[in-house]
Amino acid sequence: MLQPSEQHTYADIEAVYKCLEEGYGAKQEDIILYGQSVGSGPTLDLAARLPHLRAVVLHSPILSGLRVMYPVKKSYWFDIYKNIDKIQLVDCPVLVIHGTADEVVDCSHGKQLWELSKEKYEPLWLKGGNHCDLEHHPEYIRHLKKFVLTVEKPPSQRYTGSRRRSTDQQLLPPRKSTDIVFEASRKVERSRRSVDCCLEKSRKSVDHQLERGRKSVDRIRTG
């Protein structure tokens, strides 16, 4: 059986994309990628290679695996999921959602990724939100719905850049992609245990891959 690894997660999301493209005839322009926590890694890796994506949602994302544990200032060869380097290669609108009380991945990760995004959409910083409870906040689904409806419009009709959008903006009737997002959010609660399990496995994987680099990182911190 294959062991969990960074490269295997990249292969997984690539396989899903190929299935949508070849099996269902989906185009980049029809796809919104959604990455949560460690899942932001494969999400941004794929998004950086697809120039015509409709949009990307980053839910409690990480700057990189190493940066979750150490406040390093640059990327090292042994680091994994280097989102901080890939976000600048994403050409579509990016929505970042992060809880201000996140005890697993500090909110500063989400804020820095949003700052580095080319096409920023109004972010959602959920006050008091932790790492695995953002779906319980009423603002979560409202903001996500507004984002999906916005990116479904032609680019010339969207609010682009970091300019704040009015919460009174008139919404268009929901489309199929919107319904898919809502249905996925309803299933979050049932899949919470599996998400927590994946997060724990990812932490162990990070620890294993960083073993060779710990001494050099410690020297940086104490130097």
Catalytic residue ranges: 37, 102, 131
- Pairing outcome for strands 32-36 and 55-59: parallel
Whole-angstrom Cα distance, residue 101 to residue 86? Answer: 25
Angle at the Cα of 217 (from 211 to 222), degrees rounded to 5?
135
Alpha-helix runs per DSSP H in 24-103 = 40-47, 65-69, 83-86
Distance of CA 42 to the CA centre of its chain: 9
Closest CA relative to residue 81, chosen from 98, 92, 68, 71: 68
Diameter over CA atoms, the chain: 57
Residues 44 and 18 sit within 8 Å (Cβ to Cβ): no
